[in-house]
Amino acid sequence: MIHLDPQQRLHKIVLQMPFNRLLGIRVTRRHKDGVTIECPLRHDLTNLAGVLHGGVTATMADAAVGIAIHSRFLGTRSATTVEMKVNYFLPVSGKKIRARAHLLRVGSTLCVGRVDLFNDSKKLVGTALVTYMLLPPEEKKR
Amino acid sequence: MIHLDPQQRLHKIVLQMPFNRLLGIRVTRRHKDGVTIECPLRHDLTNLAGVLHGGVTATMADAAVGIAIHSRFLGTRSATTVEMKVNYFLPVSGKKIRARAHLLRVGSTLCVGRVDLFNDSKKLVGTALVTYMLLPPEEKKR
Amino acid sequence: MIHLDPQQRLHKIVLQMPFNRLLGIRVTRRHKDGVTIECPLRHDLTNLAGVLHGGVTATMADAAVGIAIHSRFLGTRSATTVEMKVNYFLPVSGKKIRARAHLLRVGSTLCVGRVDLFNDSKKLVGTALVTYMLLPPEEKKR
Amino acid sequence: MIHLDPQQRLHKIVLQMPFNRLLGIRVTRRHKDGVTIECPLRHDLTNLAGVLHGGVTATMADAAVGIAIHSRFLGTRSATTVEMKVNYFLPVSGKKIRARAHLLRVGSTLCVGRVDLFNDSKKLVGTALVTYMLLPPEEKKR
């Protein structure tokens, strides 16, 4: 029997999320207050200008907070995105984009995370605020 | 020589946007104040809960306003996403998601669009506000 | 004994909200899906540039959705602002600012409203999305 | 002749902003990347629930970034709010609310600041992202 450490378990979960998998998102670190995820850039994630599509950056922000919540509750609670706000500072090119989610508020119903987005050169390329709603524990069983 | 009507031309442009193409986004209608785009749902656009990933919805919002601006300026101006805000009302499943962008404000520097998002049953599943910055005309030539 | 119609009752409630009263906000119309409120402009609501302070516009958006929820539930439910997003299109001057709130989504926990903001000339000067959380009915009694 | 230090000068400017003055906002600290401002709570800044009105919190966020930009450019550039997003975590009561603005991005056209909002007990009660547009230098002279 193989034992997985928490980050490996988390990464395994992420591979079960089809869209995150399509994009190639992977968890690179768990933190006390969140997670760091990364996505390698490739041509089919770009826009007409040849840089990363804003939708990928938004997906990273949404995913980072979702995975942070999953990690926080050890997978015992389901949650759904309520709303999200992304500010874009710089066009993203290079090898990857990194998203660091900080859970700022974990309430009984709502969780809010801030996500800072970085390029290869560790430059801040954007920031986001994402709100999730925790679903009642019984809905999990369905 | 084949002449394309404006919507066909617009659709051809969208096919040149790699990420929109990966998702399968297509323009279904041009309006006086914007455009309607659609994306067929498929398994690799979903999340762990089996419904459409919030990142796809966000991509639709971003793309709809970008395409509306492209349509408005007949492709003569480049623009880049400054910020975006999406509210999610209902989980999205079924055959497709539809995004209707309305350009609310077209300034000399900034354009703001509202995007209403609908499911198969024409139910409002979310709404978004997206801000683009028009790039100076000379940057287009580079 | 004097009987008040629904709009008068609503206006009376608004007068009990100290900050709305300080600003001079009043309900001018009830709609099926929301309310319209107005605020007369005056010097102490302006900023350094001599136009309406963005904070007043944001207050109008927040208040309009709060009052729309109050109206919808006939005052039987309490609600609190979860988050708000405002886009500013044009500087506001003249005699008043008007905010028209549309409740887009009324769920069992969250309500989302869109607010369109107009100046004297009925020009759209901004738009907002506001999320409220309905408090459990029992909390009302405390 | 009396010489004012930069913070006193900044505070003097803030007193010239009528709405900030009506609320009682004052600058308490200048930082390398922004400013801290405070507003004493009083009854006429509250809502029906007897806690701080969300519009005041939004005003604090807007003002904090505006003042941070003023401080950054030593008053040589004018700027106007483009959009703002506030997340509310906890109801605010007590003696004051404090807003710490961090300028995250200062571009040639747009500036984006993050504002963390704290209550008396230094607890994070909300957070905001605010975008300003710098006006062309010549407009200043008008």
pLDDT tens digits along B2-24: 677 888 888 888 888 999 999 99
Contacts (Cβ under 8 Å, ≥6 apart) of C59: C19, C20, C23, C25, D53, D54, D55, D56, D58, D59
Angle formed by the axes of helices D54-72 and C54-72, nearest 10°? 160
Q: What is the pLDDT of residue B75?
A: 86
Interchain proximity D131–B133, CB inside 8 Å: no
pTM comes to 0.94
Q: Does A83 touch chain C (CB under 8 A)?
A: yes
Q: Which residues pair with C115 in a beta bridge?
A: C101, C128
Give per-10-residue mean pLDDT for chain B (142 aa). 76 89 95 97 94 98 97 92 98 98 97 98 98 81 46
Q: Does B109 touch chain D (CB under 8 A)?
A: yes
Write out pLDDT tens, residues D85-131: 999 999 999 999 999 999 999 999 999 999 999 999 999 999 999 99
For residue A133, the distance in angstroms to the closest alpha carbon of chain B comes to 11
Write out pLDDT tens, residues D50-86: 999 999 999 999 999 999 999 999 888 999 999 999 9
For residue D124, the distance in angstroms to the closest alpha carbon of chain A comes to 8
Q: What is the pLDDT of residue D52?
A: 97
Q: Does B87 touch chain D (CB under 8 A)?
A: no
For residues A69 and A33, give the distance between their C-alpha atoms in angstroms, rounded to a whole number. Answer: 10
Q: What is the pLDDT of residue B9?
A: 84
Tell me which residue of C8, C43, C38, C47 sits closest to C20, measured CA to CA.
Answer: C38
Task: Name every chain D residue with its beta carbon within 8 A of the beta carbon of B85.
Answer: 85
For residues C97 and C46, give the distance between their C-alpha atoms in angstroms, rounded to a whole number. Answer: 12
In A16-72, which ranges are continuous DSSP H helix? 18-23, 54-72
Q: Report the amino acid identity of residue D118.
A: F
What integer is the mean pLDDT of A116-134? 98
Interchain proximity D81–C63, CB inside 8 Å: no
Q: What is the pLDDT of residue C3?
A: 72
Task: Name every chain B residue with its beta carbon within 8 A of the beta carbon of D83.
Answer: 83, 129, 131
Interchain proximity B47–A87, CB inside 8 Å: no
Q: Does D9 touch chain C (CB under 8 A)?
A: no
ipTM: 0.93
Task: Name every chain B residue with its beta carbon within 8 A of the beta carbon of A13.
Answer: 48
Q: What pLDDT band is residue A1 in, cutting at 50, 70 and 90?
A: low
What integer is the mean pLDDT of A99-103? 98
Interchain proximity C59–D59, CB inside 8 Å: yes
For residues C59 and C27, give the distance between their C-alpha atoms in angstroms, rounded to a whole number. Answer: 14
Interchain proximity B129–C87, CB inside 8 Å: yes
D44 three-state secondary structure: helix
What integer is the mean pLDDT of A36-50? 95
pLDDT beyond 90 at D13: no
Q: What is the pLDDT of residue A50?
A: 93
Interchain proximity C131–A131, CB inside 8 Å: yes
Interchain proximity A44–B56, CB inside 8 Å: no
Q: Starting at the edge strand that comes first in sequence, how are the strands of the sheet with D96-106 ordered?
A: C26-31, C34-40, C96-106, C110-118, C124-134, C79-88, D79-88, D124-134, D110-118, D96-106, D34-40, D26-31
What integer is the mean pLDDT of A62-77? 94
pLDDT beyond 70 at D7: yes
Contact between C40 and C78 under an 8 Å Cβ cutoff? The reply is: no
Q: Does D105 touch chain B (CB under 8 A)?
A: no
Range from A125-129, A134-138, C43-47 carrying the lowest mean pLDDT: A134-138
Q: Does A54 touch chain B (CB under 8 A)?
A: yes
Residue of D65, D80, D85, D110 for testing the chain B interface, max B β-carbons within 10 Å: D110
pLDDT beyond 50 at C116: yes
How much of chain A exceeds pLDDT 90, in percent? 80
Interchain proximity C85–A85, CB inside 8 Å: yes
Q: Which of B85, B89, B107 has the CB atom closest to C85's CB atom? A: B85
Q: What pLDDT band is residue D5 in, cutting at 50, 70 and 90?
A: confident
Interchain proximity C54–D13, CB inside 8 Å: no
D6-141, what's its fold?
Thiol Ester Dehydrase; Chain A (3.10.129)
Write out pLDDT tens, residues A13-26: 888 899 999 999 99
Q: What is the pLDDT of residue B142?
A: 45
Domain extents for chain C? 6-141
Q: What is the pLDDT of residue A140?
A: 47
What integer is the mean pLDDT of A22-32? 96
Q: What pLDDT band is residue D2 in, cutting at 50, 70 and 90?
A: low
Work out the mean pLDDT of chain C and round it to a whole number: 93
